[in-house]
A and B are shown apart, each in its own frame.
Chain A
Amino acid sequence: MTTEVEFINTQPNTDNLIACPGCDLLHTKQSLQAGEYARCERCSHVLQTCKPLSIDRSLAAVLAGIVLLLISLCLPFLSLSRSGIESTISVLNAVEALWGSDMRGLGTLTLAFIVLLPLTRLVLLAWVLWGIRFDHQMRYSMRVAFRWAVQLEPWAMADIFMVGVVVSLVKISALANLEAGLAFWSLLALVGVMVIINLTLCKDTVWNKLDPIS
């Protein structure tokens, strides 16, 4: 048992080590081929990824996402007609209507989860990935930006919102006629683009480019 104690007390060189964020087990870093990934030996948390052409692909998807999100804000989202009365709303109108009818909490929450947080995440990612792609000087602020972009992920709820919209359509199909506008389809496309971003974005590649020393 003496060997174990000795071994633990010597401070290892941290450059080629990685600790599992799920269970804290130390691993030696692997050199991965494109498309490979490495999992923790104990809890099978993914520790290292090496996605091919990650920067190019995710930057393209992020830029597409920004365009789609801006389109879906202003264009008509849904239109509704019943007994000759028609109403068409955009996403921003919807938030405005909630705000106007004294449901400020619900309006703000919706605005934050489906517009502000996804947009912030996309803009931060675009800035960081653009900087890497076109060899800008790496700054500390970009690393903070990338951290926020990663941490915001569960709070950007455009995908859940779209399921909610489909459920509402089913709920009121008996009461009124509904038609999906252009913004509906572009928001649906945005959900697909978000999935592509998550699939193509390789956090390890980005961190290594942002901070080559460590």
Chain B
Amino acid sequence: MQRYGVEQAGPHIVNALDSGLKSCTACGVLQSLDVEDSCHRCGATVRSRRVHSLQRTWAFLIVGMLAYIPANIFPIMLTRSFTGDTSDTIFSGVILLADSGSYFVAFIIFFASIVIPVAKFVIISLLALSIQFKWEMSLHSRHNLHRITELIGRWSMIDVFVVAVLAALIQLGAILTIIPGVGINAFALSVVFTMLAASSLDPRLLWDGDKHV
């Protein structure tokens, strides 16, 4: 696509902010920096850069990380049958699946409940720190990392739905009953808050240090 003003500005970057414009991230309308913050087309709040983007990201991310601790310590599911009660944490659930030979499903759960959340904590912190301390890192790889975290974050909810389905379905009284554990609430909160953290981080802040294409 043709960059605006490539003849006049040469290799220099002309972004909306420098030209006195801000764009609505919901519908794309451009308006002048000094008009009100509400988009005249779709009603969304239009800011050149999301206000307090880093502060919000850190707040959501820290809550997400804190909630991830009880999510792993406490059981997410209790199975009550006549052979006795067993309780599963996120990790023991993965081990149980692998032991029973369902390696593929065990891998999916391991990926969705452990790899994705931990990777998101690391990546979002890295991006926020790199903006805060103006680290020199490849803009393209940081931009891609941000886009990937936004895309795959929601898939962590798999385990929450597994517990919800099992608990709702398996209510056979004394024979077999599955009860959701406290851990799953913490896990669901952790996923929701990290999703909010990823969407609070304004990717335009990453590019603000860039002066050349």
Contacts and interface: CB of A to CB of B under 8 A. Distances in A.
A105 B182 CA distance: 11
Contact of B184 (A17, A106, A146): A106
A96 B54 CA distance: 39
Contact of B20 (A11, A78, A150, A160): A11
B140 A24 contact: no
B158 interface: yes
Nearest to A95: B168
A103 B3 CA distance: 53
Contacts of A98: 164, 167-168, 180
Contacts of A172: 166, 169-170
Interface string B42-58: 11100010000000000
Nearest to B15: A24
Interface stretch (B65-73, B101-109, B120-128, B129-137): B101-109
Interface residues of A, number: 77
A25 B157 contact: no
Interface in B70-128: 97, 100, 102, 105, 108-109
Contact of B1 (A30, A140, A147, A150): A30
A82 B172 contact: yes
A47 interface: yes
B191 to A, nearest CB: 10
B148 interface: no
Contacts of A147: 26-27, 42-44
Contact of B30 (A17, A23, A107, A168): A17
Interface stretch (A35-43, A51-59, A118-126): A35-43
A188 to B, nearest CB: 14
B87 to A, nearest CB: 15
A82 B41 contact: no
Contacts of A17: 4, 21, 30
Contacts of B4: 12, 17, 25-28
Contacts of B18: 8
B145 interface: no
Contacts, number: 241
A101 B167 contact: yes
Contact of A11 (B12, B32, B184): B32
Contacts of A93: 168
B13 interface: yes
Given A95-B168, A160-B154, A23 B204 contact: yes
A4 B195 contact: no
A127 interface: no
Given A17-B4, A17-B30, A38-B1, A167 B171 contact: no
A19 interface: yes
Interface in B1-45: 1-5, 8-10, 12-23, 25-32, 40-44
A143 B153 CA distance: 28
24 contacts: A4-B12, A7-B14, A14-B31, A19-B28, A21-B204, A22-B143, A24-B15, A24-B48, A25-B4, A25-B16, A26-B4, A27-B3, A30-B2, A42-B3, A85-B173, A89-B169, A94-B164, A101-B167, A160-B161, A168-B162, A170-B97, A172-B170, A207-B27, A214-B29
What are the 7 tightest A-B residue pairs by CB atom distance, in nearest-first order? Answer: A164-B161, A94-B168, A19-B23, A19-B16, A26-B4, A23-B207, A24-B15
